Amino acid sequence: MISAVPDAHWNKLPHRGNKSPTGPLSRERFVSGGASKTASTPGTHEEKEEREHHMSRKVRTAIFPVAGLGTRFLPATKATPKELLPVIDTPLIQYAINEAVEAGVERMVFVSHPSKSAIERHVMDDARLRSELHAKGKDEMAQELRENSFTTPEDDVVFTMQHEPLGLGHAVLCAAKLALPGPVAVILPDDLILGERGALSELTHAYQELDAGHLVATMEVAEQDVNKYGVLDITERRGPAVLARGMVEKPDPQDAPSREAVVGRYVLDEAIFEALRTQEPGAGGEIQLTDAIARSAEACGGLAGYRFSGQRFDCGSKAGMLSATLYLAASDPEYAEVLADFVASQRMPSAA
pLDDT by residue (tens digit) across 109-153?
999 999 999 999 999 988 999 999 999 999 999 998 888 888 877
Helix, strand, or coil (residue 212): coil
From CA 7, how far away is CA 170, in angstroms rounded? Answer: 14
**Predicted pLDDT of residue 51:** 52
In the three-class reduction of DSSP (H, G, I as helix; E, B as strand; rest coil), residue 30 is classed as helix
pLDDT score recorded for residue 155: 86
Burial 66-105 (b: 16+ CB within 10 A, else e): bbbebeebeeebeebbbbbbebeebbbbbbbbbbbbbbbb
Q: What is the pLDDT of residue 19?
A: 39
Instruction: Write the pLDDT tens digit of every residue in 1-45.
Output: 444 444 666 554 333 333 344 333 333 322 323 333 334 456 665
Average pLDDT in the 169-177 region?
Answer: 96
* Distance of alpha carbon 77 from alpha carbon 71, whole angstroms: 7
How far, rounded to the nearest angstrom, does the alpha carbon of residue 149 sit from its chain's CA centroid? Answer: 17
What CA–CA distance (Å, rounded) separates 158 from 6?
Answer: 11
pLDDT for position 50? 52
**CB 321 within 8 Å of CB 315:** yes
d(CA 94, CA 298): 34
Q: What is the pLDDT of residue 10?
A: 53
Which positions ≥6 away from 12 have C-beta within 8 Å?
Answer: 152, 153, 154, 155, 156, 157
Each residue's pLDDT tens digit, 81-106? 999 999 999 999 999 999 999 999 99
pTM listed for this prediction: 0.84
The answer on pLDDT for 255 being more than 70 is yes
Instruction: For the chain, give the mean pLDDT.
Output: 85
pLDDT per residue as tens digits for the range 143-153: 988 888 888 77
Between CA 325 and CA 328 the distance in angstroms is: 5
Handedness of CA 232, 190, 31, 219 (dihedral sign): negative
pLDDT of 134 = 94
| DSSP letter assigned to residue 148 | T
Radius of gyration of the chain from Cα atoms?
21
pLDDT tens across 227-246, in order? Answer: 999 999 999 999 999 999 99
Higher-pLDDT residue of 32 and 332 is: 332
Which of 35, 43, 339, 4 shows the shortest CA–CA distance to 162?
A: 4
